């Protein structure tokens, strides 16, 4: 494959490399976004369960490998702040994903044009 690659003009090699980099970056963004979405769902489920408990219920939060007694209101506030931060991060990643998808599409189009054989002039 690298032998075939070396036969391509330098500009085409550069475009191909750029396309591969864009695709890798896109995959990384998609993985981050998936992780954020999973964490956001977990926080939302926790908030929903917390709302079902009475205001005077004993609530614990994880701190490393310990569970520490905490106030329900304080935990709710922390969870809501965490959800807002995750929403913001998700929005940023979505924009980044859209931009990368556009760049990948553009790079693919240019590469296809570069690799398209020159058609002979009509007779």
Contact call for residues 100 and 29 (beta carbons, < 8 A): yes
Confidence class for position 68, pLDDT limits 50, 70, 90: very high
Which residues are bridge partners to 63 per DSSP?
66
Flag whether pLDDT at 84 surpasses 60: yes
Q: What is the pLDDT of residue 119?
A: 55
All domains of the chain in start order, with CATH: 2-114 (1.10.287.370)
63 compared with 9, residue with greater pLDDT: 63
2-58 confidence digits (pLDDT tens): 667 677 788 888 999 999 999 999 999 999 999 999 999 999 999 999 999 998 889
């Amino acid at each position: 494959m690298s032998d075939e690659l070396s036969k391509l003009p330098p500009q085409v090699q550069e475009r191909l490399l750029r396309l591969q980099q864009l695709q890798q970056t896109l995959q990384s963004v998609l993985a981050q976004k998936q992780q954020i979405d999973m964490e956001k769902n977990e926080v939302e489920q926790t908030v929903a369960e917390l709302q079902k408990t009475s205001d005077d219920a004993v609530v614990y939060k994880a701190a490393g490998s310990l569970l520490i007694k905490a106030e329900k209101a304080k935990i709710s506030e922390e969870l809501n702040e965490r959800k807002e931060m995750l929403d913001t991060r998700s929005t940023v990643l979505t924009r980044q994903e859209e931009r990368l998808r556009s760049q990948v599409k553009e790079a693919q189009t240019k590469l296809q044009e570069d690799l398209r054989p020159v058609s002979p002039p009509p007779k």
